Amino acid sequence: MSTTRAVSPGKRVIVLGGSSEIGVAIVRELQSRGPREVMLVGRDPAALAVAAEELRGSGSAPVGTLELDALDTERHEEVLGQAFAELGGADIVILAVGVLGERGGLPSDVASASELLRVNVVGAGSLLMHAARRLRDGGGGALVVLSSVAAERPRRANAVYGASKAGLDALARGLGDDLHDAGVRVLVVRPGFVRTRMTHGLEPAPLSTDPGSVARVVADGLDSGARVVWAPPALRWLMLVVRMLPGPLFRRLKQ
């Protein structure tokens, strides 16, 4: 039996949330399977420059950057159009926009929690819809959406974050069904606890992972034509059990 893996499709890659450790790791994994032209789009020019230099060192050339804040929804269409134009189109768009925010149930800082919802649902959702439209109008492509296992059944330990990811996850899956016949593949990625700058200082949850491992799951998912993947894959079965827990028992979970 052959052990050769299919090469993940698409040479032109746009990363929305371009300084995301997971987003950059996905590009590096794609680079290991074939050459890529990359555009990183994000709000922090300094962080984008660091990520771009890292990818150039890994073999991606050229790597461009564009500045855009997820909350600046009025500029989404313009900047997405520029990203597509500078690459001459796009084959893969990775949506890696998101913030973690305060842990727990009812937040002590409602203003910050509301901003999290605006970033993770409104901002990310706007970018998702603009990217999906661009891919459809360009003849197709793949759209990778970083969701979370928290989207499957939000818990008391991350009520606001889980709700925000549930909203984005639902939008991505609905658009994936709508755009299937137009040649746009939507891959929803549900990682568990990922050891990154964003989670630094937090106690790792069971089956915690790292950006490189998530990236391999994503690239394999693109190769296989999957619609939803979990990272690590064993989380799929754990979350099946979690979804079936009775409410009184589920409320006792503190993590």
Contact status, residue 66 vs residue 82, Cβ threshold 8 Å: yes
Give Cα 58 to chain centroid, integer Å.
21
Contact status, residue 191 vs residue 161, Cβ threshold 8 Å: no
Active site residue 99: no
CA 36 – CA 15 distance, rounded (Å): 12
CA 221 – CA 84 distance, rounded (Å): 23
The residue from 18, 99, 161, 171 that is catalytic is 161
- What b/e sequence results for 224-255 when a residue is b if at least 16 CB atoms lie within 10 Å of its CB, and e otherwise? eeeebbbbbeebeeebeeeeeeeeeeeeeeee
Q: Which residues are catalytically annotated?
A: 161
